[in-house]
Structure 1
Amino acid sequence: MATARTESMGPMVMGLNKQNGQLRGQTKPLSQSGPHSVSTPPGKMTVGGGALKPGGGTQEGGIRFGDDWKKSLLLPPKDTRVRTSDVTSTKGNEFEDYCLKRELLMGIFEMGWEKPSPIQEESIPIALSGRDILARAKNGTGKSGAYLIPLLERIDLKKDYIQAVVMVPTRELALQVSQISIQISKHLGGVKVMATTGGTNLRDDILRLDETVHVVIATPGRILDLIKKGVAKVDRVQMMVMDEADKLLSQDFVVLIEDIISFLAKGRQILLYSATFPISVQKFMSKHLQKPYEINLMEELTLKGITQFYAYVTERQKVHCLNTLFSRLQINQSIIFCNSTQRVELLAKKITQLGYSCFYIHAKMMQEYRNRVFHDFRNGLCRNLVCTDLFTRGIDIQAVNVVINFDFPKNAETYLHRIGRSGRFGHLGLAINLITSDDRFNLKSIEEQLVTDIKPIPGSIDKSLYVAEYHSVSPDGEEEEPPRRPVTTPNQP
């Protein structure tokens, strides 16, 4: 995974566009490289493709026997940042060890995925065997790849019906997962992937499902609507994945999920992935899963690369404190959490008045504006994003190295998912919590539940705690010893 590094962006005073959560005026894009700098266009997504030609294009006939297929891959820049044991503590397996189709391997390597992470090592062979899985692993350690790789490997292109469904709790996560699916399946020769979520045109989905679709990535309400209308035929689905399964099994969704499962074939495979699981998962497992293989890589709950601090402030001091953090921290991109949609908009307006580039996003915005904000922030058009807990689920933006809880969350689960937006895939991140007197007991409770240490914020934060340090790479491509000082990035948020 490659980092998104940024050019210097001076303070910019802009007017807040009330409709779409973005700012009027020009923003200078943050230069990005690697698999996570791709565009995530809003709307429905489909994919076709073939194998690479030696010159980098595609051809119908695929790669001839004897070709050195790895030489023709269009690989992203190598990510040489130091990683924590959250993703490096593996058994040493390679993706080739799982007998995957060569065309799928090509897509995996072109994503910049060099070797399986621990959750991928544990999950991929079991999922390929057809067995149900209950997998628990930390945020940002490769859960999407853990289920998408076996899912795409098992798609039969000769069959023109829906063979796999991925359920996710938010629209943004649906778009992200579908984009990853499209990228890693682009050489498979015609896998059709569709994202469908609430808030988009139902008629467009109906027309799309009139054509061939192999994989549907959906939010529960929309896919159930399409199933009940007889448009999405899921009776031959062989695999159903529940990403962020704890949220999907909460009171908000569990009735919908049960309803969806009732339309599936009896022999289907169900895979559950999450960082946390509620007690209710036991009831769901006993009812719907057949002797599931359980994976638990959660010896500790928080990511090793995230350093956590708190600043004790009054409510009136919060904006001033935030301004001070902006001026002193070395921010690539930051996500700032508030506890209500109203406070999100008010804070975003305040940040722009202070002269910093800022977008905002929350659930009450029109879907097209949510898509645009998500797309533009992911692609580095803005340094700071203010949001509600809408953005805590699975969103993977590699450039985010700072998370700020402007409003402290009410429970440990929300806190865990929020801070997990930084420190993705074994990299470094910083979580700063603005704590008022009303939050002090909650802070202690969350520390105890997560068995973690949230320290008082020091006068100066060591950049090596959250700014990526890189290995140098020798001319033959081998990693050398890492430098003793962190690579510098712009100081201005």
Structure 2
Amino acid sequence: MIPTAFATLPLDPSLLENLTSLGYSEMTPIQARSLPPILSGKDVIAQAKTGSGKTAAFGIGLLSRLVVSHFGVQGLVLCPTRELADQVGKELRRLARFTDNIKILTLCGGVPFGPQLGSLEHGAHIVVGTPGRLLDHLRRGSLNLKSLRMLVLDEADRMLDMGFSEDLSAIVASAPSNRQTLLFSATYPESIAAMSATVQHQPVTVKVEAIHDGRAIRQIFFNVERVERLAALARILGHYRFESTLVFCNTKKETQEVADALTERGFSALAIHGDLEQRERDQVLARFANKSVSILVATDVAARGIDIKELTAVINFELTRDPEVHIHRIGRTGRAGEEGLALSLVTAAENRRVAAIEEYLGDPVPRAELNTLTMPSSAPLEPPMVTLCIDGGRKNKVRPGDILGALTGEAGIAGSEVGRINVFDFHTYVAISRPSARVALARLSANKIKGRFYKIRKFD
């Protein structure tokens, strides 16, 4: 039996103390299997999905190998999207908070080069970023990997799917050959085996079959005609009145069309896809995560890195061709002991996809007819929160505590009325309960935050 207590690992006492304070009492299956070889310095291939605890697995490994007194880039984490890179960066900072003077930088596209160049000039221990921007810094000479001890490729399968193969090869070629390389992937296609052969040395393979408890997710397939899909989706949403729903489409064009059609029907919906500017993507994700938007319509690629803990339901507007991707989609609901609901719209032409999914699951999925769903007479459910956008962020030295203080102090808003606060480089998004939103907007607009006025906007 594999030990699951973090205390059984050869970790620094301050790191163990921090893990305890963060509520990390027992290792998840992927952590229990991957951390021993990672801590012993071996290359590792780990098959793990979002929500499995993989970030803490390689994060603990990264922090354990750092020589804090040496101010050079010793750890590099590559992610397919900025959202995932931001998420990984935040988690690494949480894991490192009991260790003094560790600097972690996030370098992604879609933001100006200047501030990143300034940050790199001051040095860093760990860099997290997307392949394109990291390669740009390497070519400019602003990122130096001569001190690199550990390279992590997070969601490597998706980076290959998104066409980053050449960028990855160029980055790896810039890294020392004696580094440790960790490769994390949700799936294990031949392309991953080929990549491992070129970037790793005698890797240990770790695979955890049951990432999500299937019993926590109730699946239903709804029989529909192709021309009825939009009406069917609206009927499902109107019947269940979910507070937080992720709707999957197979194309970028479809995501925007579906989100627009739902908005026209009175639903609170936004789309996320590759054609959005980075600031728009940040805004959409912040609004969905803080419960000021009820429905997010996404493609599989755009949804990578989105990890919403309280996701009520997942709806497949159209089935994916890959059963593994289907399992990955629905695994985003039903977490933290809560039952999740995964609903799929299925036409007669998709019966082969249904058969492949049921074969992969080892069980049939219940079918239902739309006419069994009752439609309420009331309007679509209104999100409980409203998002305020402040035109100031991390680069303006704005911190969540400054916003919370301005709201609960000068503005007189109860702390219980303030939701999630997301601080980006030049913007901050804060969730306010709907009844308090107007007062919060007026008070923040009329008062200074850290000694200066900022433009405040409200998103409904």
TM-score by length of 1: 0.70
1:87-102 correspondence runs (5 A):
91=2, 93-102=4-13
1:6-25 CA-to-partner distances (Å, cap 9, x unmatched) read xxxxxxxxxxxxxxxxxxxx
Q: CA deviation at 1:114?
A: 2.7
**2:250 corresponds to which of 333, 339, 342:** 339
Find the counterpart in structure 2 of residue 167 from structure 1.
78
Of the three residues 319, 322, 330, the one matched with 1:411 is: 322
Is the aligned partner of 1:324 residue 2:199? no
Partner of 1:305: 216
Answer yes or no: is the 8 Å Cα contact 2:79–2:153 preserved in 1. Answer: yes
What's the CA shift for 1:198?
1.8
Deviation, 1:235, is 2.0
Give the Cα–Cα distance (whole angstroms) in 1 for the partners of residues 117 and 123 of structure 2: 12
- Residues matched between the structures, number: 372
What is aligned with 1:447? Answer: 358
State the AA in 2 paired with 1:393.
Answer: R
Question: How far apart in 1 are the matches of 2:34 and 2:8?
Answer: 13
1:155 aligned onto 2:66: yes
- How far has the Cα of 1:448 moved from its partner? 2.9
Deviations 1:362-394 (A, max 9, x none): 111110110122123223322221112234324
Please give the per-residue CA displacement for 1:156-215, whole angstroms capped at 9, x wherever unaligned.
220111110111111111111111112221221122111111222122222211112111
More helix by share: 2
| C-alpha displacement of 1:134 | 0.9
Q: Give matches, 1:35-46, under 5 Å.
A: none
Deviation at 1:338, TM superposition (A): 1.6
Instruction: Report the Cα distance in structure 2 between the residues aligned to 1:236 and 1:376, rounded to whole angstroms.
Output: 39
Aligned CA RMSD, in angstroms, stands at 2.5
Corresponding letter in the other structure for 1:244: E
CA–CA distance in structure 2, aligned partners of residues 425 and 235 of structure 1: 41
| Residue pair 1:110, 1:184 contacting (<8 A) in 2 also | no
Gaps of 5+ in 2: 375-460
Q: Are residues 1:270 and 2:181 paired?
A: yes
Residue matched to 1:392: 303
Determine the C-alpha separation between the residues in 1 that align with 2:363 and 2:302: 23
Contact 1:309 1:457 in 2 (8 A): yes
Equivalent position SS for 1:457: strand
Match of 1:222 among 98, 113, 133: 133
3-state SS of 1:400 partner: coil
Matched, 1:428 2:339: yes
Distance 1:198 1:300, change over 3 A: closer
Question: Does 1:127 find its partner at 2:38?
Answer: yes
Deviation at 1:111, TM superposition (A): 3.4
On the 8 A contact 1:165/1:239 being kept in 2, the answer is: yes
Deviation at 1:274, TM superposition (A): 1.9
Partner of 1:190: 101
| Cα distance in structure 1, aligned partners of 2:111 and 2:18 | 29
> In structure 1, what is the Cα distance between the partners aligned to 2:193 and 2:253?
37
Give the whole-Å Cα distance in 1 for the aligned partners of 2:146 and 2:215: 42
* C-alpha distance in 2 between matches for 1:276 and 1:128: 24
Is there any run of 5+ residues in structure 1 with no aligned partner, and where?
Answer: 1-89, 462-493
One of 290, 294, 299 as aligned partner of 2:205: 294
Q: Give the Å deviation of 1:92.
A: 5.1
Q: SS of the residue aligned with 1:414? A: helix
Letter in 2 for 1:369: E
In the alignment, the residues of structure 2 paired with residue 417 and residue 392 of structure 1 have an alpha-carbon distance, to the nearest angstrom, of 11
Distance 1:341 1:280, change over 3 A: closer
Q: Decide whether the 8 Å contact of 1:302 with 1:450 is kept in 2.
A: no
Is the strand fraction higher in 1 or 2?
Answer: 2
Matched residues in 1 for 2:211 and 2:301: separation?
25
Q: Secondary structure at the match of 1:172?
A: helix
Instruction: Name the CA distance, whole Å, in 1 between partners of 2:212 and 2:363.
Output: 8
Q: Which has the higher contact order (CA 8 A, sep 6+)?
A: 1
CA displacement at 1:139 relative to structure 2? 4.1
Check whether the contact 1:392–1:421 (CA below 8 A) recurs between aligned residues.
Answer: no
Amino acid in structure 2 at the alignment position of 1:183: R
Name the structure 2 match of 1:232: 143
Match of 1:260 in 2: 171
Letter of the aligned partner of 2:199 in structure 1? H
Distance 1:91 1:460 in 2: 46
